[in-house]
Chains A and B, each alone.
Chain A
Amino acid sequence: MDQFIQLTIDALTLGSVYALIALGYTLVYGVLKLLNFAHGDVFMVGSFAGYGTFQVLGGANPKVPLWLFLSLVTLAGMAVCAGLGVVIERFAYRPLRDAPRIAPLISALGVSFFLSNSMQLLFGATPRNYDTFDIHEAVLYTSGFDIGDVHMPLLRVITILAAFVLMIVLWFLVNKTRTGKAMRATSYDREAASMMGIDIDKVIVFTFVLGSALAGAAGVFFALRVPTTVSIGFVAGLKGFTAAVIGGIGSIPGAMAGGLILGFAESYTQGYISTQWSDLFVFSLLIAFMIFRPQGLLGRADIRKV
C-alpha cells in the first residue's frame, strides 16, 4: 500500500510536468497543424534559464523569501522560453507556413538539433543541479504532510499545485478571452478566420508564447528536483508529445489527461513490472494506441473535406 501511494505521488509529479509539455504541443498543433519537434529543447532551455536565475538569486541561500524566490525562478524560465518560442516561430516556421507539410517538420528537427548543440557549446554538457535540497536545511524535502506512512514533501506539493494553476490559467485564456476565441477560430479554419478579420500572425505568435512559457515552467519544475543537462530535451519532448497524442492532439483537456496517464503508466510499470523494460512497455503501448485510436482519448477524428 505504501508503495502504491508513493508511486502515485511520483506519477502525479511526473504527470504534471508531462502535461505542461504536452499542452505546448497541442496548442501549436491545434493552430498550425505543425509537430514542433523543437519543443522539448525549449523545455531544456527553460530549465537552464531557471538555473541561472536560481544562482543569481542566491542559490541555496535565497536572498528573497522562499515563495518569491520560487516564483521568480519559474517566471524567468517562462519568460526566456516565451521569447525563444517567438523567435523560433518567426524565423524557422513562418517562412514555411505554406510549404509542403514535410518542410516545417524538417526545419523543426533542425531547430531542435541546433538548440541542444548550441546550449552544449555555450554551457557544456555538465549536469546542472539546482541545490533545492540545501535551501534552509532541506525544508522543501522534509516539511509537507504524511499520507499513512508515506511522506509528501513540500516541493512536490508546490510543483503539482503550480502546474495545475498554470493549466487553469491556460484554460481561462483560451476559453474566456477574445484572443483565446481567435485562437480557437484559427485552429478550426485558418483561412476563414483570417477573412473574419483575425490577425493570424498575431494569434500564432500568441500560441507560441503560451506553449513555450508552459514548457519553460515545466523545465523549471522538473529541474528543481533532478539535475538537468543539455540533452534532456529529446526524451522530454518525446514524452510530452506522446502525452499530447494519448489525450488527442489539439485538445487542451486531452493534453492534461494524457500527461497524467503517461505519468501513471510510467510510474506503475517501473514500480510493479520492470524498471529495465519500462520504456519498452510505454512505447509499445503508445504505438498500439496510435495505430488503433490515432485521434486520442478526447480528440475528434480528423475528417477532411476536399
Chain B
Amino acid sequence: MSDSTPHGMHEGPAVGQDEWVARHGERSELRKGAFGALERRLRSVPWWAWLVLFLAGFSLLPVVEQGGYVREVAFSTVLYMLLALGLNVVVGWGGLLDLGYVAFYGIGAYAYALLDSPHYGIHLPVFVSVPAIAVIGAIVGLLLGLPSWRLTGDYLAIVTLFFLQLFQTITTNWQNVTGGPFGILNIDPFGAFGVNVQPEHGGVFAVAYLYIALGFFAVVFVALRFLNLSRTGRAWRSLREDPLAAEAMGMPVNRLKLLSFSFGAAVAALTGTLYAALYANVFPLTFYFVLLITVYTMVILGGSGSQAGVVAGAVIISPLLEMLRDASKSRVLFFLTLVVSLAVLSRRSRATAAMALSTLVFGFVVHAVCGGVHSSWIAGEHAGGLGGFVAHWVVVPAHLARWITPVSYIGVIAAALVCTMLRGRARLVALVPTLYLAAFVWENVMLSKPEPARYIVLGVILIGLMILRPNGLLGERRVEII
C-alpha cells in the first residue's frame, strides 16, 4: 500500500509505461535456488491437475475420518466453496457489491423445497428440478441486476441489501407458500430412477452427499474457469478495472453487469438445492446477514477474483468457525496462530524473535506475581490442552470480577490500535504486553462465549485484510495506474 513509489531506480521505464507497473514484474520475480526450482516446477502444473488433486484429497477425508460430524463439516465446507465461487463472479469479476447474494441461495433452497417435497405433493425428478432452479436463480439475478443499469456501486449495494430484507419478509410472512417461520420440512433427498440417496444412515451423515457436492463443485469450478477465460471474462475484468474506459471502448457495460449478477445467482441457487436436499428442511433465518458476512470473508480472505483463492478462503474459514465453537480447540487454534505467525516473522528479524521470547518471559512473570498476590487469581479452571502450558502462563482467576471483562477487552483493542500507530522498536516493545493481554482476553472472555467470539474473529479478519492485504491471501496484487 505505502510502497507505491519505489526508491533507487536504476533505469527508467520504457516510453509510455508507468514506472510502478514496469517494476511490478521485477518485484515478483521468482526465487533462486532449490526453492525457486521447486516453485517453477509447481507453477508449471496445469490448473486441472491441481483441481483433481484437491478433489481427491477431499474425497479421502471421510475414509480417514468416520464420524458424521467431520463429514458434515466437510459437506458444509463444500457448500461454502460453491457459494464463494458464485460470489466471486459478482464481486471479484463483475466488481459489484452484492449484499443480497445469500437470498439467491435461499431462493434455490426454497424452490427445491417447493418442487420436491410433500409440501405441495410435487416430486419433480432431480434432473429436471435442479437445472430448472439454476435457471430460475439466473433469471431472478437478472431481474435484481436491472437496477444496476441505473445505479452505481453504493446504491446497488443497498438495493441488493433491501432485496435480502424482502426475501426475509416474504419467506417469513407468506405462510401458505413458504411455511413462514415454521419452514418446510421433510424435503426429498436427491435421487434418480426411484433410488433415493438418503442423507443419513442411523443418524450419521451419509457420505454420498459429500461426493455429490464435490461433483457439483467440480462442474461449477470448471464452467466458471472457462467463462473467465472467455470473451465475457475478459470484458468483466476490463469493466472492473475501469468501467468508464470500458464503456468508451464500446463494451456493453450494463449487459455485462447483468450477466455477472445472473451467473452468481445461478451458482447460489444451485448450491441452495444441495442444502435443501441434505438438511431436508429450510427456514428463513438460515439465509441472512451472518451467512452473507461469512461468505464475504471467505472471498476477501482468499483473494477476490481468484478462483483458487476463494476456494482456499472457504476451506480455511469454514473449519475455523467450526473449531471456534469448541473451547479446547479454539484455545489450541489461538496459541498456534500466535506461535506460528511469530515464528514466521522471527525468521526475518532478530528483534521479532527477541520480542516473542520476552512475551514468553513476561507471561511467566505476570503469572508468578499474580499467584504470589493471591492464589485465587490463578486458580481458574484450565481445561487441559497444550500440555498444561497455558495453566502456567496465562492468568485465569477463579472468579472474574464483572469489570474485568469489558476493561480487558477494550484494553486489548486499544493496545492493538496503539501498536499500529507505533513504529520500529517502540512497536515491538508495546507488542509484548499487548500479546499477553490478548491471550488473557482469549482465555477469560472469548472462550466462554463462543458465538460472538467466532464472529468477532470474522469481523477482525475483514477489517485487517482490507487494510493490510486487500488482494487476499492468493489474489494477485492489482497493478494500478492512477
Binding site for B on A (CB under 8 A): 29, 33, 35, 87, 90-92, 95-96, 98-107, 109-115, 117-118, 120-123, 234, 238, 241-242, 245, 276-277, 279-280, 283-284, 286-287, 290-291, 294, 302, 306
Q: Is B279 an interface residue (CB 8 A)?
A: no
Tell me the nearest residue of chain B to A277, going by C-beta.
B173
Task: Tell me, rounded to whole Å, the shortest Cβ–Cβ distance linking B453 to chain A.
Answer: 6
Tell me the nearest residue of chain A to B417, going by C-beta.
A91
For B146, the chain A residues whose CB sits under 8 A away are 291
Tell me the nearest residue of chain B to A35, going by C-beta.
B154
Tell me the nearest residue of chain B to A304, going by C-beta.
B244
**Residue pair A114, B417 in contact (C-beta under 8 Å):** no
Known interface pairs A114-B463, A121-B445, A122-B406. Does A287 touch B159 (Cβ–Cβ under 8 Å)? yes
A95 to B169, CA, bound (A): 37
For A101, the chain B residues whose CB sits under 8 A away are 153-154
**Residue pair B157, A287 in contact (C-beta under 8 Å):** no
Q: Determine, out of B19-27, B160-168, B360-368, the stretch whose residues face the partner at the interface.
A: B160-168
For B170, the chain A residues whose CB sits under 8 A away are 280
Task: Tell me, rounded to whole Å, the shortest Cβ–Cβ distance linking A86 to chain B.
Answer: 11
Q: Is B133 an interface residue (CB 8 A)?
A: no
18 additional A-B residue pairs with CB within 8 Å, beyond A113-B462, A114-B459: A33-B154, A35-B154, A90-B417, A92-B467, A96-B466, A98-B482, A100-B478, A102-B153, A105-B157, A106-B97, A110-B458, A110-B459, A112-B459, A121-B456, A276-B173, A277-B173, A287-B162, A291-B150
**Residue pair B467, A95 in contact (C-beta under 8 Å):** yes
Quick one: which of B425-470 are within 8 Å of A by CB? 445-446, 449, 451-453, 455-456, 458-463, 466-467, 470
Tell me the nearest residue of chain B to A280, going by C-beta.
B169
**Residue pair B293, A109 in contact (C-beta under 8 Å):** yes
**Residue pair B456, A105 in contact (C-beta under 8 Å):** no
**Residue pair B289, A234 in contact (C-beta under 8 Å):** yes
Quick one: which of B162-216 are within 8 Å of A by CB? 162-163, 165-166, 169-170, 173
Task: Tell me, rounded to whole Å, the shortest Cβ–Cβ distance linking B135 to chain A.
Answer: 23
Task: Tell me, rounded to whole Å, the shortest Cβ–Cβ distance linking B88 to chain A.
Answer: 13
Q: Is B158 an interface residue (CB 8 A)?
A: yes
**Residue pair B463, A111 in contact (C-beta under 8 Å):** yes
Known interface pairs A87-B417, A122-B406, A287-B147. Does A113 touch B173 (Cβ–Cβ under 8 Å)? no
Task: Tell me, rounded to whole Å, the shortest Cβ–Cβ distance linking B400 to chain A.
Answer: 12
Q: Is B259 an interface residue (CB 8 A)?
A: no
What are 30 A-B contacts defined by CB distance under 8 Å?
Answer: A35-B154, A87-B417, A92-B467, A96-B470, A99-B1, A101-B153, A105-B157, A106-B296, A107-B462, A110-B460, A114-B460, A117-B455, A118-B409, A121-B453, A121-B456, A122-B406, A122-B409, A123-B406, A242-B158, A245-B158, A276-B173, A277-B173, A280-B170, A280-B173, A283-B162, A283-B169, A287-B159, A290-B155, A290-B158, A294-B151
**Residue pair A122, B405 in contact (C-beta under 8 Å):** yes
Number of residues from B at the complex interface, CB < 8 A: 52
Known interface pairs A294-B151, A294-B155. Does A283 touch B166 (Cβ–Cβ under 8 Å)? yes
**Residue pair B460, A238 in contact (C-beta under 8 Å):** no
**Residue pair A35, B157 in contact (C-beta under 8 Å):** yes
Shortest Cβ-Cβ A-B pairs, 7 listed: A110-B462, A114-B459, A113-B459, A110-B463, A107-B466, A121-B452, A117-B452
Known interface pairs A102-B91, A105-B97, A287-B147. Does A96 touch B467 (Cβ–Cβ under 8 Å)? yes
A114 to B478, CA, bound (A): 27
Known interface pairs A91-B417, A106-B296, A280-B173. Does A290 touch B466 (Cβ–Cβ under 8 Å)? no
Tell me the nearest residue of chain B to A34, going by C-beta.
B154
Task: Tell me, rounded to whole Å, the shortest Cβ–Cβ distance linking A39 to chain B.
Answer: 13
Interface string of B70-95 (1 = CB under 8 A from A): 00000000000000000000010001
**Residue pair B409, A121 in contact (C-beta under 8 Å):** yes
Contact partner of B97 (CB less than 8 A), chosen from A102, A238, A287, is A102
Tell me the nearest residue of chain A to B160, going by C-beta.
A287
A101 to B470, CA, bound (A): 12
**Residue pair B165, A283 in contact (C-beta under 8 Å):** yes
A91 to B293, CA, bound (A): 20
**Residue pair B466, A104 in contact (C-beta under 8 Å):** yes
**Residue pair A103, B470 in contact (C-beta under 8 Å):** yes
Interface string of B47-73 (1 = CB under 8 A from A): 000000000000000000000000000
Known interface pairs A91-B417, A280-B169. Does A106 touch B462 (Cβ–Cβ under 8 Å)? yes
A95 to B163, CA, bound (A): 31
Task: Tell me, rounded to whole Å, the shortest Cβ–Cβ distance linking A276 to chain B.
Answer: 6
Q: Is B378 an interface residue (CB 8 A)?
A: no
